[in-house]
Every structure is written in structure tokens, then in C-alpha cells.
A = this chain, B = another copy of it.
Amino acid sequence: MTRTAVDAEGAWFEPDRMAELRRQLPIPYIDVVPVRTDPDGAIRQVGLLLRASGEGRIVRAIVSGRVLVHETLRDAIGRHVEKDLGPLAMPRIPVSPVPFTVAEYFPTPGVSLFTDPRQHAISLAYIVPIHGEAAPQEDALELTWFDAAELAGSAVLGELEHGQDVIVRRALAHAGLI
């Protein structure tokens, strides 16, 4: 979750101003697990980004970012998918605003399974099938599609930060794969 918010916020607040807001209010977020589906709708692959973390390490990440003031959740999902996966991704945003899980990120580790050193974020998580051509954007180094049935047991999930591996596992559980 480290960099995406900064990008989106750059157009709106000075970094100091945003840092101040983050100490005063929980920040609404969306998390998106990008997937490719079979013709019968079953998840076949999960897409993970490879990017430099805020601390200079190379990490895997799902699509994640802040909801802006006066922005609908639907628009926020579309904007973050386009920002991370490009304008040709053709996401199938779910018909319902009900998330499959809610991730509460706290600065202090241990309050929940999710941490974010910068802020208290409340994130609504969605599974979004990608129908078009997704390509990593901006600072992302790579987008890799992993076999959904093998992902839960692989070491790849350990390369996700801040508890995003938990979100991917919950997505697979909700979709009936694990």
C-alpha cells in the first residue's frame, strides 16, 4: 500500500498536509485482487505487481489506494486499476458495493493482521476480473499472473507486505478455491 496513495494524493495535498490528516482520521481505502477467470467464471490466475517498497525493498503488491473526497467507490476502483494495470485492462468491477472482506490497517503491529506505518486505513476489498491487456504502470516493475490453485501454497504470498497476503488468501477462500 506504500506508494499508491502518495501518487494519488500528490495532486491534492502537500505531503506534510496529508501526513497531518493521517494522524487525525481513518483513511478510506480500496484493495483490489486482480484475477483472470475461466469461461465459467472460476478464478484461474491472480495478478500480483512487483514494485519497490517505501523502504527500498522489492515486494509484491495487489492494487490498493485511497478513496478521494467526493469520489464513489466504483470510481476509486476504476481509477486505481487503471493507474496500476493500465488503460487497456478492461476490469469487470463487481455489481455490488459489498466487499468480500474489510481490512483495517493500523500503524501499530498486532492490533489487526494489517499494518501501515503511515496511517490507520479502512479498506474495502474486491475481487476484480481483468478482461483486457494489463500492463504494469509507473513505478511497478512487473505484473505476474500466478496460478490460483497453486498460489496459496507457494512462497510468493510471503513477498506481499502489510498483510496483503491475508487479503489474497481471503479472496481465494471467498471464491471457493481454498
Assess whether B169 is in contact with A178, with CB atoms less than 8 Å apart.
Answer: yes
How far is the CB of A159 from the nearest CB of chain B, in Å?
19
Give A116-130 as 1s and 0s: 1 = Cβ < 8 Å from B's Cβ atoms: 000010101001010
Assess whether B41 is in contact with A122, with CB atoms less than 8 Å apart.
Answer: no
Interface residues of chain A: helix, strand, loop or mixed (majority):
loop
How far is the CB of A123 from the nearest CB of chain B, in Å?
10
The one of B21, B42, B97, B111 in contact with A102, judged by C-beta atoms closer than 8 angstroms, is B97
How far is the CB of A106 from the nearest CB of chain B, in Å?
7
Q: Which residues of chain A from 107 to 161 have a CB within 8 Å of any chain B CB?
A: 107-108, 111-113, 120, 122, 124, 127, 129
Assess whether A98 is in contact with B101, with CB atoms less than 8 Å apart.
Answer: yes
The one of B28, B95, B113, B173 in contact with A170, judged by C-beta atoms closer than 8 angstroms, is B173
Q: Looking at chain A, what size class is its interface with the partner chain?
A: 35 or more
Assess whether B24 is in contact with A26, with CB atoms less than 8 Å apart.
Answer: no
- A residues whose Cβ falls under 8 Å from a Cβ of B: 13, 21, 23-28, 35, 37, 40-43, 67-75, 77-78, 91-102, 104, 106-108, 111-113, 120, 122, 124, 127, 129, 166, 169-170, 173-176, 178
How far is the CB of A44 from the nearest CB of chain B, in Å?
10
How far is the CB of A172 from the nearest CB of chain B, in Å?
9
Chain B residues within an 8 Å CB radius of A75:
40
Assess whether A122 is in contact with B73, with CB atoms less than 8 Å apart.
Answer: yes
